[in-house]
Amino acid sequence: MEPVPSANTAPSNTKEVLNGEVLISADTAPNGANGAVHEPRSDANANVPNDVIQCDCLIVGAGFSGITAIHRFRQLGLKVKCFESGGDFGGVWYWNRYPGARVDSEAPFYQLNIPEVYRHWHFNQRFSDHKELRQYMAHIDKTLDLRKDTFFNARVVDASWDQQANLWTIKTTAGHIAQAKYLMLTSGLLHRTYTPDFPGLENYKGEIHHSSAWPEDFSAKGKKVAIIGAGATAVQITQELGKEADELTVFLRRPSYCLAMKQRTWTEEEQHTLKAFYPAMFKAGRDSAAGFPSARQEVGVGDVSTEEREALFEDLWRRGGFNFAISNYNNVALDKDANKVVYDFWRRKVCERLTDPAKQKIMAPEIAPYYFGTKRTPLEQDYYEVLNQPNVSIHELGKAPLKSFTEKGLLMDDGTEYDVDAVALATGFDSYSGSLTAMGLKDKNGTELAQSWKENGISTYLGIMMAGFPNLFMAYTPHAPTALSNGPTIIEAQVETVAAIIAKLQAENGKTIEPQHAAEEAWKQEIDTMSKYTLIPYTDSWWNGANIPGKARQNMIYVGGINTYEQRMKDAIAGWTGFDVATA
């Protein structure tokens, strides 16, 4: 689910390569951050057409969301085209190439529910790495012939609505111009990278690589390496670099509560046998809260004996993956005392592996720094064993913040200096809104979305449409269960709902559809009300935009689960509740 590309070694600025042209992008990497060259990954067609591209629906982005949209909208009989900023299909898995990059949703659920695609595909592991996922994307492309309708190396920089013609006009950096009745944004939840404005970063003479722009030929052998971050991406990078580097220093503000991945090999034969049950499994996943066919316990932590509770905890832990989080007792996310019981068990499991007392105090302190499950719980394979190694050290930024980068490394507020050969930036993404506000998208009155959301905060209706943007739809978005869901499952729920909206609109001879401002406000209030009964609001993270300085903190998550969310969308479109619909 996490978000990354080959980079030149320590270039002077962040750069993007589009159709062979190198563009400086200061806003993507403030203060001249190094190492973000996005290079085309294939020889895919990126020819600029001589004429305006005419289609029924223009899709922006060719990851899981965009691929799903192409397929589903074709099934409606629509003429579909897609603009993708990268050089091939895959979305985050086109860019994600850092050491250890791997999905944390397990097979067979991290794939699209398209029989002609899964019938002849076999995964090698329970949790696929970035290489296998790119192979899977190539398989989808070959099976569905997606490439004929997709333009690569085509980053959208302008999208405007013509009220007279009732059409969207979309332009790319490569010179493409398209007109479409419908515009579908599938640009991703974790796409636009974030690099903090580190003091003195331009002075550092060593290598700097952001996780989203990783040089595939990088080696940590014989080097002193610093990694900044402790989220899901940082966990994966740490696991790999800690085995290679002479010294690895992890700089963090607070630890992640990692869960055991329990990786294993998948055989082709067992997958082939299991495919007979795929339809029922995918349906069960779609009918669940998180996209996996599992459910929370029907009782709370305090409703059972200590022995029964410990037995369940042990069973869930042995299963691996997210089972300990999503199949636990029903009040863990609601009750502080119940949450502490779960945290204490988690801590005990971690300390059995991370035996260094000083590191235990940082990574698994006796008093929880935040409530369990109120921010991302990454999956790990041997993270704590690597942290336990003598060549790996941990620096708490909360106790001694970074004062400045120097020519040789990092200088901390307490005077400590770290001389390093390379720095890995696992500093995350401008989540939810970053990709949507970076494409020059304007509402029907000509106001840019970036300006509107900066001034008024993020607003959507049902997480799939926005007031003032006729015939515009989105997937993998804010105000939906995205951060709490298996990616392909929530994507299919949203895209298929959009397809149902378009089909209904076409059947009723509709011309345009857009949500009402009042409906947006009511939706925001609904998700805020649901969230306030949980422990999530107590923790700042990328879930509420707190990882970006200056970004307004607001609830981005619908906590009711995929099944409830999808029914909520169906109820709304049945009678066009909250929508303004114009007919021809």
Contact criterion met (CB below 8 Å) for 123 and 106: no
Instruction: Quote the tokens at residue 248.
Output: 């690895």
Q: Please indicate whether residue 431 or residue 188 has the higher confidence score (pLDDT).
A: 188
User: Has residue 262 got a pLDDT over 90?
Assistant: yes
Domain's final residue, options 400, 425, 450? 425
pLDDT for the residue numbered 22:
24
What percentage of the chain carries pLDDT values higher than 70?
88
Contacts of 570 (CB under 8 A, 6+ apart): 497, 500
CA atoms of 484 and 486, how far apart (whole Å):
7
Residue 69 lies in a domain: yes
Is there a domain that residue 202 lies in? no
Which residues have CB under 8 Å from 146's CB, separation 6+? 62, 67, 70, 71, 82, 89, 140
Domain check: are 446 and 410 in the same one? no
Q: Sort 341 into a burial class: Cβ within 10 Å, 0-12 / 13-18 / 19+.
A: buried
* Whether 415 and 436 share a structural domain: no
Q: d(Cα 262, Cα 368) in Å, to the nearest integer?
A: 24
pLDDT at 456: 87
Answer yes or no: is 225 within a domain.
no
Chain segment 83-128, per-residue pLDDT in tens: 999 999 999 999 889 999 999 999 999 999 999 999 999 999 999 9
395 and 539 assigned to the same domain: no
pLDDT of residue 442: 97
- The answer to whether residues 435 and 330 belong to one domain is no
Residue 409 sits in the same domain as residue 448: no
- DSSP annotation of 442: B
Distances 47 to 86, 152, 175, 181, 555 between C-alpha atoms, Å: 14, 9, 9, 23, 41
> Distance between CA 182 and CA 162 in Å, rounded?
12
Same domain, 447 and 516: yes
Q: How far out from the chain centre does Cα 308 lie? A: 36
CA distances from 479 to 179, 334, 438, 484 (A): 28, 20, 19, 11
Looking at residue 555, what is its pLDDT?
A: 82
What are the residues facing 184 on neighbouring strands?
59, 473
pLDDT of residue 356: 98
Q: Kindly state whether residues 444 and 420 are assigned to the same domain.
A: no
In this structure, are 119 and 77 located in the same domain? yes
Domains in the chain: how many in total?
2
Domain extent at residue 354 = 259-425
Euclidean distance between CA atoms 282 and 325, whole angstroms = 20
Report whether pLDDT(16) > 60.
no
Element holding 454 (H helix, E strand): helix 449-456
pLDDT in tens, 128-149: 999 999 999 999 999 999 999 9
pLDDT at 39 over 70: no
Q: Do the domain assignments include residue 216?
A: no
Q: Say what the pLDDT of residue 17 is.
A: 26
Q: What share of the chain has pLDDT > 90, as a percent?
A: 80
**Cα-based distances in Å from 263 to 112, 125, 137, 219, 388:** 21, 7, 22, 24, 20
pLDDT of residue 528: 92
Quick one: average pLDDT of 157-186?
97
* Whether the predicted pLDDT of 48 surpasses 50: no
Q: For 345-368, what is the mean pLDDT? A: 98
- The more confidently predicted of residues 403 and 31 is 403
CATH, residue 548 = 3.50.50.60
Regarding whether 287 and 154 lie in a shared domain, the answer is no
List, for residues 520-539, the tens digit of each pLDDT value. Answer: 999 999 999 999 999 999 88
List, for residues 225-244, the tens digit of each pLDDT value. 999 999 999 999 999 999 99
Instruction: Judge whether 571 lies within some domain.
Output: yes
Per DSSP, 381 falls in state S
Pair (474, 400) in one structural domain: no
102 φ, ψ (degrees, to nearest 5): -155, 145
Residue 452 corresponds to which tokens in the numbers above? 């509107």
Distance of alpha carbon 210 from alpha carbon 36, whole angstroms: 7
- pLDDT of 14 over the 50 cut: no
pTM: 0.89
- Same domain as 486, residue 408: no
Domain end (from 397, 425, 453)? 425
Question: What is the residue-averaged pLDDT of the chain?
Answer: 89
C-alpha span between 279 and 274 (Å, rounded): 10
Q: How many CB atoms are closer than 10 A to CB 323?
A: 19
User: Which residues sit opposite 183 in a β-bridge?
Assistant: 58, 472
Is residue 389 domain-shared with residue 467, that is, in the same domain? no
Q: Which of 425, 444, 462 marks a domain boundary? A: 425
Cβ neighbour number for residue 510 with a 10 Å cutoff:
18
Q: What pLDDT score does 546 carry?
A: 60
User: What pLDDT sits at residue 32?
Assistant: 28
Give pLDDT, residue 427: 87
Any domain includes 79: yes
pLDDT of residue 248: 98
Cβ contact 495:68 at 8 Å: yes
> Does 354 map to a domain?
yes
Band (pLDDT 50/70/90 cuts) for residue 583 is: very high
Any idea which of 26-40, 168-182, 449-463, 497-511 has the lowest mean pLDDT?
A: 26-40
Average pLDDT value for residue range 18-42? 29
* Within-domain flag for 271: yes
